[in-house]
Amino acid sequence: MIRPYDPVLGETATWDPGLRSALLNLEALDEWQRAADRLLMAEGAGHLVHDLPVRADGRSASLESRPWRLDPLPVVLDPASFQWLSAAVAERMEALEAVLVDLYGERRLVTTGVVPSELLHASSRYRMSAIGMPPPRRWLTTYAVDVIRTVDGSWQVVQDLTDAPAGLGYAILDRSVIARVTGEVHTGAGVASLMRFPDLLRRALASLSDRESPRTALFSGGIDHPSYIDHSYLAVQLGVHLVEGADLVVRQRRLWIRTLDGVEPVDIVYRRLEGASIDPLEVGSMGSAGVPGLLLAVRSGGVVLANAHGSGVLEDPSLAPLWSEAAEAVTGSSLRLSSLGDSGVDHERFMASPVHDLDGLGGAAVVVRLYAVRGADGSAQVAVLPGGTGRVLAPGDDPRTPTACVAKDVWVIGRTLSPVVVAPLPQVDLASSVPTRAASSLYWMNRAAERVEILARTVRVISDRHERDPGLASLQGGIWVDRVQDLLRALRRARDARSDLPGIDALYDELSRAGDAMAFQIGSLLTEAVSVREFLSVTTGRVLERIARCRLSLQRHVAQVDDLDTLLSDLAALAGLWNESTVRGPAWSIGDMGRRLERASVLLDMVAEALWGPGDSTGDTAGRIDTADEVDRSILEALLASNESLVAYRRRYRSDVEPESAISLLVRDAGNPRSLAASLERLAADAETSGWQTGAMLAHSARDALALDLVELIPTVRATLEEFSRALSAHWFAAPVSPVVVTGSVGDSPLAEAT
């Protein structure tokens, strides 16, 4: 007999009617939706859904806009429903494991005709190289299954996900948002927590290796991958390195991570990259996401993949109808969960669930994805996440490929559900372990942040000065407009021609171009930041989300002073979080060197432009600044203000701005944190802390050049900083021909012996 079913609460409504009215509070729903939108962005997802430009090092970021909306109305399962589903999911995972063992082992399913040989071998997902090469522990460490509820109350399988099941990071992210949005409703409902599940997954991955505390890395396709948000968020929750193909190298039949100090071994790869992309030498994948030789290292026992390569054959749509019969053949019993079959697009079969939007409530079918982990305690035990993710079906959608960008959290009522508890793993100190790609991203992120900050402050200073004194634009036949155009063009490092528009129109045109330049630098900042989420605090993600919103308003638009003040506040918050919330280690030193290098380079460009104009005609030591001239005085004050030094100058000298004192404050005064001298001191300190003697020597050489006259100082220091930048990239970011093993990190490894 079918139990009463409520489209909001499932069977929960039969014993907790108060929860329905609390969730369907129409007065609260709109506010919940707005809060969910805001928090989803603030949790680090928002700045990933905007188109981003070419990266600072020339790599392109082809990430398209992929926004999704999180419906504040959850899918609710009562304890009895979840316990049945949990048992059915565990049963299905164990049965599919047995099917994989047979397909790549004795192949009785093929010889008996349960799985036709011609169909199996026609599948591009069946890996011939895996036949007779079983993984050391199991084929499936993680598993996900999409299910949907039909109008008769039964649950049916939409699809199995066995290759690189996506969505666990989404589930945890969505729950963190909805729990805050619904507040007391969530707390009072007794919703089962998801927080222990990353611990289970971490332990399950560790159980694949014989090492006491194996090194695990989460292998992603990078920011271009459709599930990158899922990957990055999950890596943070697991506390493991998020790596891409460029981070990894196979040597001596082992897998290694390229880090700042050399290479470090990887024992387990939790791959979020599909099997067709992981090794271009064997799979014939397109692009550069994979790692050449990875599967050779796997077969040699140099690394373990989770899930094992070849497990994706179960996701082949042409073979999916065979798995229920195959599972029964290898286990001797039928599965509780039946497959939806070919009539999956008949939406009248599915139970409708309310979906909230700003216009009201409407019904729609929801596909629920459930997640399982096998072997969390080293055994065959399966743990199922007490929750999941829901995906709303648009009219006409195939349940396997929803098109509506609306997600739902899945609540399991009954916080007394017994969690699987495992012993903690031995700790490993990875403070000094920084993948080369991550260090590069932190370096370019900080360079972009510094560049956009000085651009924003300069535009703000010029816009504010013009607003307060419009007469400047016509002074001396428009000389002021030409001079500020040149200053902004120096900051943009412009190669385009100066505007030929008349007077104030030329200024507005240059300010709009500066807005484009700021938007580009913000895009570079965001592109790099999202690839190193594990190094940044949660609060940093929220600041980045606000900066991302500013970016959209800057393109080909003359920014308002108030908007620039907001952007500058967010950039100051970002700098403060970087300095106060990032552990002082190799990652921080690399990022800080990027910031100081950019600040010093920008300051040199601005001083040269203010003193000598376009072309750096440095034949005159004094430059062209004449403080008796109103335009020159205005330019000098703008130079100080753009570098946060005008207030300091006035407090110290209490006089009109004089060129010699102003330039000394900006260039030679190490007590001024915005000065060239201060930046060079920080560069030297960072290089020395990192043990990079070449960098320290170059920074000291640049600092010694501060004693020169300006006409020699500027080109000398500029050339030295350019050499510093090249040397830094060559020292840390270029892939070495013969990788050096990190001292003491690999012990008796083959590569350690080889080197």
Q: At what angle do helices 79-103 and 323-331 cross, to 10 degrees?
A: 80
Pinpoint the alpha helices (H) of 531-670.
538-554, 561-581, 586-612, 630-642, 646-653, 659-667
The tokens describing 469, both together, are 């004194």
What distance in Å separates the CA atoms of residue 444 and residue 597, rounded to the nearest whole number?
Answer: 11
pLDDT at 360: 56
Residues 526-545 pLDDT 10s:
888 888 877 887 788 778 88
pLDDT-derived band at 346 (thresholds 50, 70, 90) equals confident
Q: DSSP for 354-411, please give it.
A: EEEETTEEEEEEEEEEEEEEE-TTSSS-EEE-SEEEEEEPPTT--TTS--S-EEEEEE
How far is the C-alpha of 685 from the C-alpha of 703, rounded, in Å?
Answer: 12
Helix (H) or strand (E) holding 326: helix 323-331
| Range of weakest confidence among 54-68, 527-541, 652-666, 682-696 | 54-68
Q: Which CATH number applies to 196-306?
A: 3.40.50.11290
Decide which of 481 and 410 is more confident: 410
Give the mean model confidence (pLDDT) for residues 225-249.
Answer: 88
CA distance 521 to 658: 33
**pLDDT reading at 13 higher than 70:** no
Q: How far is CA 333 from CA 100, 320, 326, 328, in A?
A: 17, 18, 10, 5
Per residue in 156-168, pLDDT (tens digit) is 999 999 999 999 9
pTM of the model: 0.82
Q: What is the pLDDT of residue 714?
A: 93
DSSP 215-239: -EEEE---TTSTTHHHHHHHHHHHT
**Residue 517, SS3?**
helix
Which pLDDT does position 61 carry in this prediction?
Answer: 46
Residue pair 606/710 in contact (Cβ under 8 Å)? The answer is: no
Give, rounded to a whole angstrom, the gap between the first and last alpha carbons of the chain: 70
319, two tokens: 């073979």
- The residue behind tokens 């599948």 is 123
5 vs 278: which has the higher pLDDT: 278
pLDDT interval class at 475 (50, 70, 90):
confident
Question: Residue 62: helix, strand or coil by DSSP?
Answer: coil
- For the chain, the domains span 29-67+436-582, 196-306, 584-734
Beta bridge partners of 255: 250
What per-residue confidence (pLDDT) applies to 558? 66
Tokens 């970021």 -> residue = 61
CB count in 10 Å sphere of residue 114: 18
Mean pLDDT of 604-621: 73
Q: Is the pLDDT confidence value at 617 over 60?
A: no
Task: State the DSSP code for 268.
Answer: E
Q: ∠ at Cα 465 (460, 466), nearest 5°? A: 100
Picking from 380-384, 654-658, 710-714, which range would have the lowest pLDDT averaged per residue? Answer: 654-658
Q: Per-residue b/e over 648-684, b at no fewer than 16 CB within 10 Å?
A: bbeeeeeeebebeebbebbbebeebebbbbbbbbbbb
Q: Would you say residue 424 has pLDDT above 80?
A: no
| Range of lowest pLDDT (90-94, 283-287, 612-616) | 283-287
What is the band of 585 on the pLDDT scale with cuts at 50, 70, 90?
A: confident
In whole angstroms, what is the distance from residue 87 CA to residue 72 CA?
Answer: 28
Q: Which range (58-67, 426-435, 447-456) has the least confidence?
A: 58-67
Separation between Cα atoms, residue 419 and residue 194, nearest integer Å: 10
The residues, ordered by sequence, that sit 6+ positions from 471 with a Cβ below 8 Å of its Cβ are none
Question: What confidence score (pLDDT) does residue 426 get?
Answer: 56
Estimate to the nearest angstrom the gap between the alpha carbon of 628 and the chain centroid.
52
- pLDDT at residue 201 greater than cutoff 80: yes
